[in-house]
């Protein structure tokens, strides 16, 4: 059962985002990026108080995803990527992105904090960061 509202266009949009942001980290890395995106739709806190659906999450500005500014993002969604998008839309969560609202790819080790948010772990090239439960209780 879906944890956020969606259409088939949303599935394709999220699939394109997963691929553009994390294809190099494999399926699990793409699922974790999906967790971050879906968490932004679920939660109503900090930088994400006006995000109500997948489209708003993907194109949020400022604070959205850099991949939306690159040509690779605009390629047609593949079925394998759509299947991954459906998994996170249906609520599957993967550590360290379970409660994360942010991720980035550092040149070196993950910092303990990033813009005041705590590091929850690293998967391949991406570090994940989550808010305190008191700040964002829906996660």
The 10s digit of each residue's pLDDT in 12-34 is: 999 999 999 999 999 999 999 99
- pLDDT of 62 reads 85
Element spanning 123, H or E: strand 117-123
Evaluate whether 98 touches 43 at the Cβ level (below 8 Å): no
* Segments of the chain with pLDDT less than 70: none
**DSSP-assigned letter for residue 66:** G
**Beta partners for residue 102, in sequence order:** 129
C-alpha 113/C-alpha 63 separation (Å) is 17
- pLDDT of 40 reads 97
Q: How many helices (H) and strands (E) does the chain have?
A: 4, 4
């Amino acid at each position: 059962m879906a944890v956020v509202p969606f259409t088939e266009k949303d599935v394709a949009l999220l699939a394109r985002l997963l691929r553009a942001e994390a294809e190099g980290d494999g399926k699990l890395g793409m699922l974790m990026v999906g967790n971050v995106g879906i968490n932004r739709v679920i939660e109503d806190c900090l930088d994400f108080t006006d995000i109500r659906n997948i489209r708003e999450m993907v194109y949020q500005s400022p604070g959205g995803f850099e991949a939306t500014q690159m040509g690779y993002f605009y390629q047609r969604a593949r079925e394998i990527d759509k299947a991954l998008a459906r998994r996170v839309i249906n609520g599957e969560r993967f550590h360290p992105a379970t409660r994360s609202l942010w991720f980035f790819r550092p040149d070196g080790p993950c910092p303990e904090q990033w813009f005041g948010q705590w590091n929850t772990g690293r998967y391949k090239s991406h570090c994940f960061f989550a808010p305190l439960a008191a700040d964002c209780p829906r996660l």
